[in-house]
Structure 1
Amino acid sequence: MQLPDKFMEKMEGLLGDEYRAFLKSYEEDRALGLRINPLKAEPLEFVKNSPFLLEPVPWASEGFYYKAGQRPGKHPYHEAGVYYIQEPSAMAVVELLDPKPGEKILDLCAAPGGKTTHIAGKLKGDGFLLSNEIHPARAKILAQNVERMGISNAVVTNEDSQSLSLKFPEFFDRIVVDAPCSGEGMFRKDEAARLEWSPDHVAVCARRQNEILFHAAEMLKPGGTMVYSTCTFSPEENEQVMEGFLLSHPDFSIVDRGKRPGLSPGMALWSKTGSEELKKTYRIWPHKSEGEGHFLAVLKRGGEAGPERKRSCPSYLKDKSVWKEAEVFLKELLVKPEVFTDRKEYILFGEQLYLLPPEMIDLKGIKTVRPGLHMGTIKKNRFEPSHALALCLKKEDVLQWADIPSDHEDMMKYLKGQTLSAPFSWPARLEQKGWVLILTDGFSIGFGKLAAGILKNHYPKGLRWM
């Protein structure tokens, strides 16, 4: 692997005696990881029966290493959102954030969705998660991953940090700023990062990071917690960004989360002032741990949160007769339809029905990719449920289901969009014609529709296997 000459000169100057070990790490295969989705599976139980050989990531309770060649991204479990394939070092961010159910959380630079889906698992469906991505194409990928993982309480926006800060002053309990960076820690994985790297690029990234952090700070409640992270080694983007931020924000301090397995302390000597506080930050080094390069800092805002500000609410759907077909569907499919029918936070975008998180405020003027859980499409005299709704349901939630083993030929047929015909050789409860939740080994993966012994396929065309 050819590394940029100036990068190597810089790292040799920074690392001294450790440089040779650092350089040698680039000759080794990078670690591969996946993180179990607790909204779908209990991690330790899944590992016992996993089709993959998994070893725990020491700094992530739901994270595991897998071996090259196992290809978990090509397994039906991936389509069912049972796990998220994620670089192991990146899993440390949300572990340090430590989200709690019921909190309001912002993932400010969220695509493709690793941190967002990790946070959602920690929230357990209780709380409000705003996931933002400034680049439109990446925001769509983010929304797709939110859907795949069965997340019902997340909103996906496509905005810059300043626009959000004007809408959400002192709103969030916790914030993740996984800042755009020069990507030095990803050189083993990302050739584009190597080709784009230059000292000037590092300087540009540092300026952008300072701006993003400034706006993020405005959105954090007093007493709230923020994690700043990058996947780069440059002190200019890490310790020095933290140093400058703390000087300009005296109400913030670095939180000492103590020693963590696989995580090394930040390098105070690489800052401009040599502040000992910076030793409370963390680094992950590829020559010391099984993971790519990462920097992490946990910040606490001083003070205590005051009373909630009065904020404008979205314009919920007032005339529920508009969605009577959706209500009929819910009562026919669900064991407890009132879980949805008793909610009031519905909005209609054209024919598309969404259920918003209760904590949602009016996002007028904010580019919104996914305003909440997409329930489905309201058409004349019928309701067609969304794939997103299927993925957030469980077998015990529904009256009709079909549980197709992941290694059964019918699961391959389903993922390819083919119709399934009786007799069926897998567990199912199919008592009448209508909508059926399709599962694989107990994990929801989509919808089908039963009629006259035929299970019509409603797996989305854009997701079908070739």
Structure 2
Amino acid sequence: MHANVYLPEAFLTEMATILPSSLNMEDFIAACQRPLRKSIRVNTLKISVTDFLARAAEKGWQLEPVPWCNEGFWIDADESLVPLGNTAEHMAGLFYIQEASSMMPVSALFQADDAFNSVLDMAAAPGSKTTQIAAKMDNHGVLVANEFSASRVKVLHANIERCGVRNAALSNYDGRVFGGWLPEQFEAVLIDAPCSGEGTVRKDADAMKNWSKQAVISIAETQKDLIESAFHALKPGGVMVYSTCTLSLEENQQVCHHLKQTFGDLVEFDSLADLFPNADKALTEEGFLHIFPQVYDCEGFFVARIRKLGSVTAPEVKKRLGKFPFSKASNKVEQEIAKQLKETLGVTLPENSQVWLRDNDVWLFPSALEPMLSEFKFSRMGIKIAEAHKKGYRWQHQVATALTNGNEANYVELSIDDAREWFMGRDVRPSEQSGKGEVLVKFANDVIGLGKWVGNRVKNGLPRELVRDKNLF
């Protein structure tokens, strides 16, 4: 039990005034004091849900489906020896440890047969929803993942890299810039807004230590700016999801109503009544989902789906982009790179990507990103696939994580002991094997990296940010 959860009296008084008549404060407080059930989301860029369920059964993991996410499951697993985050399946990117309620915004964005070619994730770190969006897009189109905090961009990139995402472009700005810089560029926008975090006490007993009504109102003003920016960045006919992990009306319904008051009939609220069975238990009169923690035994959360019905004039901005440091590869160069990649590793370049060059570095950008390159400065685009040298190309780690399908012939299979060494950043000596040149590295039939034969040793190519040092599977 989290009986030590801090819930300020002023906060409880506030909750009592907004709690639906079908709920009561005793259940609310009791739910806030219960630890969260652990939940995971299967990464379908790497493995199908069916195949993952078979793996989980072999490991004795007990899974219960999350009703609003086909890839989401509550999980009961013995973590006494190995935490879920240090399992081979997690490190290979087969699943993401993600709170169940936080899976809901992306499910609300991608409904039925929705397919989007350009998506903005305005507040993306640490990457749970970004990687969920990329899986929904099946690595097609372009996904712009923005994060205001520079230190959190590194975590975002590490998760994108682990999960095999190749259609993302990362940026590091205040989300308020997008409406002016990239007006009406995106078919879909997710704004999982920075908030007071009232719904997060079940995982952080001290989340409410600095809570005040004044802070809530102040944060809501920032959220109004962000939702306006997101609306400007959205194409006419496009869909936006606004979500928070908080409960106050000021940060939720009132922010959406502000958008409606600002843009009038161009704003339409889509009802989420049919998002999943029993969604009506959290449905507001506008069709939003306002989720108190006792309703579905998860974090407190808010989700709204908003449609843009027409064009609006975007804010004017003065742009100073500087010289773009990349050049698009010629068809001849791209064909040569594709040929060498196929011959060396058996890997094929995807059709929806383009090769770009920067000095000796070779990058693969999503084709749908090209119209934005002259309009906006990104911190990282696509994936780095190679470094050119005199004798050809030295392939990079993301070739293994983002371009392989597991059927490539040039690979070395590691034992469990060698796999542990690999994930700790060390070279390995697979028993009675030797080879030449670069090679894909597999464990349990999953591609986990890229190495290079040096005699009977495979030199480790794992990026530093993915190296683990203890308590492995």
Is TM (by shorter chain) over 0.5?
yes
Distance 1:422 1:182 in 2: 51
- Displacement after TM superposition at 1:152 (Å): 1.1
Match of 1:357 in 2: 366
Shift of 1:199: 0.9
Note the C-alpha offset of 1:90.
Answer: 0.3
**Contact 2:362 2:388 survives alignment (8 Å):** yes
Task: Render the CA deviation track for 1:300-353: whole Å, top value 9, x for unaligned.
Answer: 111499xxxxxx99763346888899557413334354x36x888333344432
* TM-score normalised over the length of structure 1: 0.87
Query: Structure 2: which 5+ residue stretches go unaligned?
Result: 313-320
Aligned CA-pair RMSD: 2.8
Structure 1 contact 54–66 (Cα < 8 Å) conserved:
yes
Q: Distance in 1 between matches of 2:121 and 2:383?
A: 18
Matches within 5 A, 1:19-418: 19-50=25-56, 51=59, 52-67=61-76, 69-70=78-79, 71-98=83-110, 100-101=114-115, 103-191=117-205, 193-250=207-264, 251-259=266-274, 260-261=276-277, 263-264=279-280, 276=285, 278=286, 280-303=287-310, 316-318=327-329, 329-335=340-346, 337=348, 339=349, 345-360=354-369, 361-363=371-373, 366-381=376-391, 383-396=393-406, 398-404=408-414, 408-418=416-426
User: 1:257 is aligned with what amino acid?
Assistant: L
Farther off after superposition, 237-246 or 350-359: 350-359
Q: Output one character per residue of 1:338-385: Cα deviation in whole Å (capped at 9) or x when no partner.
A: x36x88833334443211110113435744222111213334545332
CA distance in 2, matches of 1:102, 1:267: 26
Deviations 1:63-92 (A, max 9, x none): 011126532101122121111111110001
Question: Judging changes above 3 Å, is the alpha-carbon distance between structure 1 residues 98 and 117 closer, same or farther for their aligned structure 2 residues?
Answer: same
CA 1:217/1:73 → structure 2, altered by over 3 Å: closer, same or farther?
A: same
- C-alpha deviations, 1:264-317, integer Å up to 9, x for none? 55675xxxxxxx4x2x10022211213100000111111499xxxxxx997633
Shift, 1:240, TM fit: 1.3
CA drift at 1:211 = 0.2
Gap regions ≥5 residues in structure 1: 269-275, 306-311, 425-429
Q: 1:244 to 1:266 in 2, by over 3 A?
A: farther
Letter in 1 for 2:277: P
Cα distance in 2, alignment partners of residues 169 and 212 from structure 1: 14
Residues 78 and 369 of structure 1: CA distance in aligned 2, closer, same or farther (over 3 Å):
farther
**Equivalent pair of 1:262/1:288 in contact (CA under 8 Å):** no
Q: 1:22 to 1:264 in 2, by over 3 A?
A: farther
TM-score normalised by L of structure 2: 0.85
Amino acid at match of 2:380: R
Report if the CA contact (8 A) 2:239-2:306 is conserved.
yes
Relative to structure 2, which stretch is displaced further, 376-385 or 452-461? 376-385
CA 1:389/1:26 → structure 2, altered by over 3 Å: closer, same or farther? same
* Residues 393 and 327 of structure 1: CA distance in aligned 2, closer, same or farther (over 3 Å): closer
Check conservation: 1:394, 1:443, Cα contact below 8 A. Answer: no
Cα pair 1:402 1:439 within 8 Å, conserved = yes
Instruction: Give the CA deviation at 1:101.
Output: 4.4
SS of the aligned residue for 1:125 comes to coil
In the aligned structure 1, how far is the partner of 2:397 from the partner of 2:346? 19
Letter in 1 for 2:90: H
Equivalent pair of 2:385/2:396 in contact (CA under 8 Å): yes
SS at match of 2:294: coil
**Deviation, structure 1 residue 261:** 3.2
Q: CA deviation at 1:45?
A: 2.1
